[in-house]
Structure 1
Amino acid sequence: MRHRSLLIFTTAITAGALTLTACGSRNDKGDGEGGGGKTTVVIGVDAPLTGSLSALGQGIKNSVDLAARTANKNNEVDGVTFKVKALDDQAVPASGQQNATTLVGDKDVLGAVGPLNSGVAQSMQGVFDKGSLALVSPANTNPALSQGDNWAKGDLSRPFKSYFRTATTDVIQGRFAAQYYYKDAKKKKVFVIDDKQTYGAGLAKIFAQEFKRLGGKVVGTDHLTVKETDFSSVADKVKNSGADSVYFGGQYPEGGLLSDQVKKAGAEIPLMGGDGIYDPEFIKASGEKNDGDLATSVGYPVEDLDSAKTFIKDYEAAGYKDPYAAYGGYSYDAGWAIIQAVKSVVEANDGKLPSDARAKVTEALNKVSFEGVTGKVSFDKFGDTTNKQLTVYSVKGGAWEAVKSETFKD
């Protein structure tokens, strides 16, 4: 069930733990959960926990929960117990903004992981920044979130100092996809479609620009509407355009149906998309066999990384009913980055949280650097990940299979 409550993990409290003050709630029970004078620090999570994108949202929530469990088990920050507070945005910006207000209003929250959708992030950033509360997304890829609205003109300016992400941007992903389509897959005539959302439209635009720069031709463009199911008119346009391929900027619910209907229209050509379609549900949404469809996603396949072996083992042992999905590793690393920032702040303040802990944690995130589940985790001056690894996946035999992984270079 995707509606179950979040499992909260706390460890037994050892005697003589340091007493922390300021932000975070002090528990003076002396035994049991939160006892021994330990301070509870809450990590917020905002993600679509219900609805069509819940497969991704639940993986985000569970992976942050696992990071908190691990920190508590290892006593990662002396005197601190981490808990998770997860809120459902249903992939709706207004809900995300309301959740941001709720998290900022909880004095025990010193950082948050999320959201999944770039459009939701736009509604949350200002609220978090005003509250000096750090937001670390494992999935947002729209460049404007970290580099400002004029990023495409080369005028880069960080809008919010409290915003970070462990996923690389669409500037990288869109170009990487275009280069693979044109150079590796040998596609020359592409039909570009997007879902009119912040993520999808932005990714499709970057892809199209790079595809044309390489010498390819965009033979047609169109848009579809999220939550609609009949894309037959768009599919007919694709068929009549003479395109040898489709690129879709959007999410898997619409992407899977679009692939299905393009093929039913008689266009036996592949559909490619970004990390928004890289999910088993994309394949399930298509009634037609869609072997050969492609998707890019941030990073290398988690299952192939030596650095992820412990994460995978611990996730399975924890008994979560939902898979970690596409962003599990990045969510764990986002949560762990907040934990490391809290650790840095506590250690710099004689084992106590300062009165301005939120601001200090946000500042400390800029200097965080560690070997995480997905590789080296650190942030540049815009709050973007320094990890530029990406992978192309192809549907083969009804499942996604990695076909090319590399670090993107201009």
Structure 2
Amino acid sequence: MTRRRRFLAMGISGLVIASLSLTACGTRANTASGNPSATKIVKIGVIAPLSGNLSSMGTGIQNSVDLAVKQANASGALPGWTIQIDAQDDQASPDVGKNAATKLAGDKDVVAVVGPLNSSVGQAIQPILDPSNISLVSPANTSPTLTRGADASTNPKRTYASYFRTCTTDAIQGPFAAQYLLDQGIKQVATVHDKKAYGQGLVTEFTKAFTAGGGTVVAAETVNPDDKDFAAVIAKIKPTAPQALYYGGEHPVSSLLTKQMKDAGLKIPLMGGDGMYDPAYITNGGTATEGDLVTSVGAPAESLPSAQKFVSDYQAAGYSSGFSTYGLYAYDAANAIINSLKVSLPTASDASAARQPTVAALDKVSFEGASGNVAFDEFGDNKTRVLTVYKVENGKWVPNKTGEFK
């Protein structure tokens, strides 16, 4: 049965992205401050790429968690307890992520973890953290299988009760992009993905929705995440005369792909998901990125008063790097954990005793976060399904359409 989709238009003002464009750096040190009466320590882990070509996104996640923790400690949100952060660099690698998760699981003070960025890392660390009842709240994982199992679309089943996410999924992001292109009169596209869980999932969901809506995928190609020369792929795609190219993957590859594609005379827009929504895409791709498109979770930052406060607080905190694509969702993930700790810690003898009660509390959490209302459904997915299409105009990401996926 073809699913009906409706997009509810929302008003959009100019996008504030100055915080996205700062150079990625920052500390990986533990954070604790502001609660002099506290006698016990509880830790929130962070697993994200803090080095490498995705470090701007990973550092934005770390800093945003740090902000939430500092605010909670300063306000005495958890009487008798001080929250510390233990941030681990997963280098965007599942194997490195496993080591990070194993280290955090072995620390009796760690109750929950924010992260990771990459869905492939999420798949790798779920089975390590879940047996220890450590909550994992991702601001960025979009693969539907992480919450709904291998048969996510036909027979959804929650595999890990301790896993939650504050972002939307490929099952929403892919169809949202497909409908946008169809609405623009684009009926023929080529697809390319990087073979990773995130990119492949995006293209799969996009393709299903695009073809169901009457569109045709004229070419479907893959690349490797470390590729730099795309001449062979472009040579296969160009004769099929697509009106657009939909890419599943992150900005380091897509920025090169769009430049080489247009240099080869294939002057069509490249569209992708939130893994492309970074100033580095425009910096690395140059003028070739003009007119390119992405979908990203949520509404533009300054369209929500709660998001405006987050941006103001983040800037006032003096971080030397921006919050990047997933900062709002990392901040909300951390606060979802902190709100749950308010329930689980008062009766806990130590931090480890609060692990399972924290998982249970997250199931019921509901609050107004920086990105909007934060509450999880029976699978651990965020109930909010708002997305925005951004377009490169005059060398900047500019919001083009915001809607709620129905």
What's the TM-score once normalised by structure 2's chain length? 0.92
Tell me if 1:379 matches 2:380: no
Could you list the runs of 5+ residues in structure 2 that have no partner in the other structure? Answer: 1-23
Q: Unaligned stretches of 5+ in structure 1?
A: 14-35
Cα distance in structure 1, aligned partners of 2:350 and 2:76:
16
Match of 1:5 in 2: 28
Of residues 382, 387, 398, the one that matches 1:390 is 387
User: Which residue does the alignment assign to 1:77?
Assistant: 78
What's the TM-score once normalised by structure 1's chain length? 0.91
Any idea what SS the aligned residue of 1:393 has?
Answer: strand
Asked whether the 8 Å contact 2:34–2:75 carries over to 1, the reply is no
**Which protein is bigger by CA-based radius of gyration?**
1
Provide the C-alpha distance between the structure 1 equivalents of 2:163 and 2:57, rounded to a whole number of angstroms.
Answer: 21
Secondary structure in 2 matching 1:401: strand
Aligned twin of 1:177: 177
Deviation at 1:311, TM superposition (A): 1.1
CA distance in 2, matches of 1:43, 1:311: 20
The question of whether the paired residues in 2 share the 8 Å contact of 1:3 and 1:50 is answered with no
Q: Aligned partners of 1:364 and 1:114: how far apart in 2?
A: 18
Q: 1:318 to 1:381 in 2, by over 3 A?
A: same
CA contact (8 A) 1:68 1:82 kept: yes
Counterpart contact for 1:390–1:407, Cα < 8 Å: yes
1: distance between equivalents of 2:307 and 2:286?
33
Q: Which runs of 4+ in 1 moved over 6 A?
A: none
Once the two structures are TM-superposed, the CA of residue 11 in structure 1 deviates from its matched residue by 1.0
* Displacement after TM superposition at 1:330 (Å): 0.2
* Percent of paired sites with the same residue: 45
- Is 1:313–2:312 an aligned residue pair? yes
Q: 1:102 to 1:38 in 2, by over 3 A?
A: same
Residue 92 of structure 2 corresponds to residue 91 of structure 1: yes
Q: Report what 2:104 is aligned to.
A: 103
- What whole-Å deviation, never above 9, does each CA across 1:216-236 have from its counterpart, x for those lacking one? 111101001111110111122
The residue number in structure 2 matching 1:17 is none
Counterpart residue number, 1:367: 364
The 2-side partners of 1:41 and 1:73 are apart by 15
Q: Which residue of 2 aligns with 1:163?
A: 163
In the alignment, the residues of structure 1 paired with residue 114 and residue 352 of structure 2 have an alpha-carbon distance, to the nearest angstrom, of 22
Contact 2:47 2:90 in 1 (8 A): yes
Instruction: Report the CA distance between 1:12 and its aligned residue.
Output: 4.6
Q: What residue in structure 1 maps to residue 396 of structure 2?
A: 399
* CA drift at 1:194: 0.4
Q: Cα distance, 1:67 vs. partner?
A: 0.4
CA–CA distance in structure 1, aligned partners of residues 162 and 204 of structure 2:
27
- Taking CA–CA contacts closer than 8 Å with sequence separation of 6 or more, which of the two structures ends up with the larger relative contact order? 2
Counterpart residue type for residue 295 of structure 2: T
Partner SS for 2:82: strand
Separation (CA, whole Å) in 2 of partners of 1:52 and 1:233:
24
| CA shift for structure 1 position 289 | 2.9
- Secondary structure class of the residue paired with 2:368: strand
Deviations, residues 185-222 of structure 1 (Å, cap 9, x unaligned): 22111001000111101110110111010001111010
Write the deviation string for residues 46-104 of structure 1: whole angstroms up to 9, x where unpaired: 00000010010000000000000010111111111111110000000001111110010
Change in CA separation of 1:353 and 1:107 when aligned onto 2, cut-off 3 Å: closer
Distance in 1, matches of 2:299 and 2:39, equals 38
What is the correspondence of 1:1-400 to structure 2 with a 5 Å cutoff?
2=25, 4-6=27-29, 8-13=31-36, 36-152=37-153, 154-183=154-183, 185-347=184-346, 349=347, 356-400=353-397
